[in-house]
Structures are given as structure tokens and as C-alpha cells.
Amino acid sequence: MSLKEVIRLLPDIASEIQMAVSCFNSEVFLGTNQALIDAGDACTVSDKLSGMIADVDTVVASLLEGRKTLEEHRRWSANLSSAVFRVPVEIMSRIFIMSSEIEVDFGKDGMEPSPIHIDFERGHSVALNVAQVCRRWREIAFYTPQLWSLIPLFRLDRKGMTLRDYSPQLYERVGSFPVHLLCNPMSPQQLFDFDAITLSTMRPRCTGLDIDITSWRNIEPKTDDIADWIADFTALRRLTVKVPQVYPAGILSPMSHLPTRLTHLYLCSEFGELASESSVILRFRWDCLKTLIIEGFEHTNDTFWRQLSVSAPMLEELFLKGFILAPSGNDDQGGPLIHPRLRTLCLVHMEEDMMGGPAYTLPHVSSTNLGHAFPALSHLSFSWSPNFAETVKDALARIKRPLLSLTLLSGETELTNEHEDWLSQLGGECGIESVGYVKWWHNWSIYASVMEKWYDPYIVAKASASSAEV
């Protein structure tokens, strides 16, 4: 008989004993050698058996709870071994963001809006559309709380409506997680529709803010108003500001408190220049800033590079796109350029100069040991130029610690077998683990911290295939 069957019979045994005690007749034992049992002792035995049964029930409940816990751990272990679970949270957040921007016509085939999909009009997503992500991804995401601090939970759409009517649902969804807001308004009024009533509980927990006002081409807003509006987000850590070409300068000037908190800053001017903003960056002390991206950058000498190492001592990732002009020949008196923590450097030129080459250069790269100027540099990306490529090759040959990755941004240049051979040869000579090329500039900061594992080495793969054929 199994233990489970014995346990199942214990209540019946206790019941029989209780009945025997209640009907106890001592005359049955007269004339026998059996000792008389007092009724009180029998009741005590019965109570002990009942207590033992209760203890067994407790043990059984504990075993069932343990079995449930083991089953949960088994499922959790299966998730850990899943390839999708090992995707870095930065990349996973991009997948979710891209899926939320897919327009869905819920009117087709009688489909109804998903309960976790909030929209102003059918087919125009406002909230993160988790419903459009496959079930497996959703399960993984729910085990990854840090994911929700990287994705924009909702945005102000261009349909001239506010989020006031949707606030209760949004608050319920956000819960206690940090909030990342994405604003893409058509006018200043839509921007200010994020009023204190709508965001009274959001602002203190808003750690990320993306503002895209590139559509304000024919509007002349007041810079101070925009800056004051941004300054109301007291917990801000990540800030992205995209402005049109005619937008007035000085976005950061009124926000002197931001440098003490920001870890990521992305400034973008649509086909314009942000020279004044780069000067503002140098004027502040960015003690926490780790990633700086300026698209539409313009600077004419080495002062930006020198002062940046002082203004942002914790900087790890730097991405510049624009007019990065050559330094003056008399600017070598300030000593070697040193950025002690910079791991990722990406330089992209916007136009070519009159000589036909790219309008940028990396200061001191030919006259100073690159390893001394950037001792922690692991990832380097730059636009193709014969002159600059040879400069980089000369500099990389002198560093003691090889790069982890070298990326060539081809742009409109049609890469030939000669380019590929040059890059693969450079990777072999300099001991670079991964060399490759991509066509267009994009925000490498999303991938930079995990590029060692997830970078796609196009040319290395081609070279390996060629070797195998031989």
C-alpha cells in the first residue's frame, strides 16, 4: 500500500477509533488477559491521531507548493536557455518600438481593437502595441522589467488630440515602472497639451524623453518655452531633441540642471548645424553623461575635443555627424588629447569639402598615439575616405590594445572588392576581432554596449567563405 493510500485512510481510522471509544464496553474484556483501557486515554490517543493527520495534511500542502515552485523554476530555466531571452534588452526594446509603429487597420475582417492597444483613430497607434509582438516575445518581456524603462510607452500623435481621455488606462499600464515619453507634435500647442493634469503622476517617474519637432518648419517657437517644458521633467536621464533646420539655437542654455542627471543626450538638426549647442555642452559639467550623439554638428578646431574630456569625464560613446573640420596647425600646444573612458567613436561627414574629401578629421590621430588619446577605445566607425582611411590605418598600427570592431560607413560610395580587401587586411594586421561595413548612419548607441556579441561582420564572413572555397 502506498503512502498516499495510507494518508487517505487515516481519517477513516480516526473515525473508527472515535466510534469505538464512544461505544466502549468494559464487560467485553472481563475474563480475558487484556488490560482495561480508560476512556480518557482512548480520547487522548484519538486526539493525537487527529493531530498527526493535520500534520500530514500540512506536509502534503507543503509538498504540493514545492512541486509548483519547481515547475515554475523549470519554466524559468527553459526561458533562460531560450535564444530570444538572451537578446540584449537594448535590442529587444528596439524590436518592441518598431512593432508599435506598424499601422494596423483593425477595420479589416471585422477585427476589433486589442484591449492593450490604445489608438486615437483606427490604424494610428499611440501606445506601445504589445499585441503585435508575438506571444513568445511578450512572455519574455514580462520577465524583463528593465525593458519598460527603455521603450516609449506612448506618444502624442499628430491628430490634434490630447492624452487626457486615455490617462487612466496609461497610468494603469505604466504602474510603478519608469516612463519613457515620445512626443511628435505638429505645433507648440500640441506639445503643451502634455499639461500638469495629464502628466501629474508621470513627470516624477519620466526617465526618458524624446521630442521630435522637425515638422515645425514654418513655426518660430520661443526657445525658453521649450526648455522650460523639458526642465519640468525632474527625473530625466535620457533626452533626445530633434529640431528643424530653421529652429533657433540655445535649446540647452536655460536647462543648467540637466547636466547633473543626464546619462544619454541626442541632439539632431534636420540638415542644419548645432554649433551653438556644442558650445553649450562644453560650458556645462556632465558628470553622469555616458552617451553623446550630435547630428548636425559643426566645429572648426580641437577645442571641442579637448574640452569634452573635461566637461564629460564619464563619456563612453560619442557619435558625431556633420561638418567636423580640420584643426588648425597651431593648436598642438594644449598637449595630447585624452578621453579615458571613451569606448565607441563614430564620425560621419555630412558633405564633402572643396577638395573632394570628407569635411572632417580626427584630431591628433596621425601625430599622437591613438591608444594614448583614447585608451579605452574598442569600437571605431567612420565614413569612407582614402586619406582618412590611411590615417586610421597608420594610427591603428601603433596601438597596443587592438579594437574589438572597426566599421566602415559607405554612404553613397559604391564599395568595391578593393575596399573589402583593404578592410579585411587591416583587421588582420591590427588584430581587430570584427571588421565590416554598413551603408548608412544610424544610432549605434543602441548596440554599442553589446556590439562584441551581436555585430555582423559582413566582410569577415565573405573572407571565410572565400577561404573555404579555396
Give the pTM.
Answer: 0.59
Closest CA to 338 of 363, 321, 361: 363
Q: Is 364 left (phi over 0), alpha (psi -120 to 50) or beta?
A: left
pLDDT for res 47: 76
Q: Look-up: residue for cell 477595420?
A: 107
Q: Which residue type sits at 375?
A: P
Q: What residues contact residue 167 under an 8 Å CB cut-off, 6+ apart?
A: 198
Closest CA to 296 of 326, 319, 272, 264: 272
Residues in the chain: 470
Angstrom distances, CA of residue 316 to CA of 269, 310, 365, 370, 400? 23, 13, 18, 16, 20
Largest CA distance in the chain: 128
pLDDT for res 273: 56
pLDDT for res 428: 81
Closest CA to 423 of 454, 452, 453, 380: 380
pLDDT for res 103: 42
What letter would DSSP give residue 352? Answer: B
pLDDT for res 174: 55
Task: Report the C-alpha gap between 61 and 47 in whole angstroms.
Answer: 21
What is the 3-state secondary structure of 86-130? HCCHHHHHHHHHHHHCCCCCCCHHHCCCCCCCCEEECCEECECCH
Angstrom distances, CA of residue 2 to CA of 6, 7, 9? 6, 9, 11
pLDDT for res 332: 43
pLDDT for res 364: 45
pLDDT for res 173: 55
pLDDT for res 277: 60
Q: Look-up: residue for cell 473508527?
A: 16
Please list the pLDDT of the chain residue by residue as tens digits (470 residues): 555 666 666 677 667 666 665 555 555 555 555 555 566 666 777 777 778 788 888 888 888 888 888 887 777 676 666 566 666 777 777 776 665 554 443 334 443 333 333 333 333 333 344 444 455 555 565 556 566 566 655 444 434 344 444 455 555 555 566 666 767 666 666 666 655 445 566 677 777 777 777 777 666 655 556 777 777 777 888 888 877 765 555 566 666 667 678 888 888 776 555 655 666 677 778 888 888 888 776 655 566 777 788 888 888 888 877 755 444 444 444 455 678 888 888 877 644 433 344 444 454 455 456 677 788 888 887 776 666 666 677 777 777 777 877 777 766 566 677 777 777 888 888 888 777 766 655 444 333 333 333 333 333 333 333 333 43
